[in-house]
Amino acid sequence: MFHACKSLLFSAGYVEKSHECLIAAIEELFTDRGILPPAIVSDLRRAKTAREAADYGLTYGEASANGTVQDAEQIFDIISGYLVKQGFGAPSP
């Protein structure tokens, strides 16, 4: 999910400095402008929160992991499609 979004920012000439910067840039450059669906930002925030909970709070579960994988697959498909339409090669999964 992170790397697909990172490739999206690279395609626009930007480099992220943190996960939060990546999310803010995706929101500003792509979802607020109607280029990509706003659900991408909420999915990214949810995945970041789940990762932080697992890394720092040792709170994790199968349902959360499965949901994050599904979100990542959807985001990858959306971003790959966008990049191909813009003349870039699709990122590898």
In a domain, 90, yes or no: no
The string of pLDDT tens digits covering residues 27-86 is 999 999 999 999 999 999 999 998 888 888 888 888 888 999 999 999 999 999 999 999
Which pTM was predicted? 0.84
| Residue-number span of the structural domain to which 70 is assigned | 2-85
Pick the closest to residue 45 from 62, 29, 67 (CA basis): 67
In a domain, 33, yes or no: yes
Give me the count of residues in the chain. Answer: 93
Q: Is residue 93 pLDDT above 80, yes or no?
A: no
Q: Is 17 exposed, middle or buried (0-12, 13-18, 19+ CB in 10 A)?
A: exposed
The string of pLDDT tens digits covering residues 2-27 is 999 999 999 999 998 899 999 999 99
**Number of domains the chain is built from:** 1
Pick the closest to residue 73 from 53, 34, 35, 47 (CA basis): 47
In a domain, 14, yes or no: yes
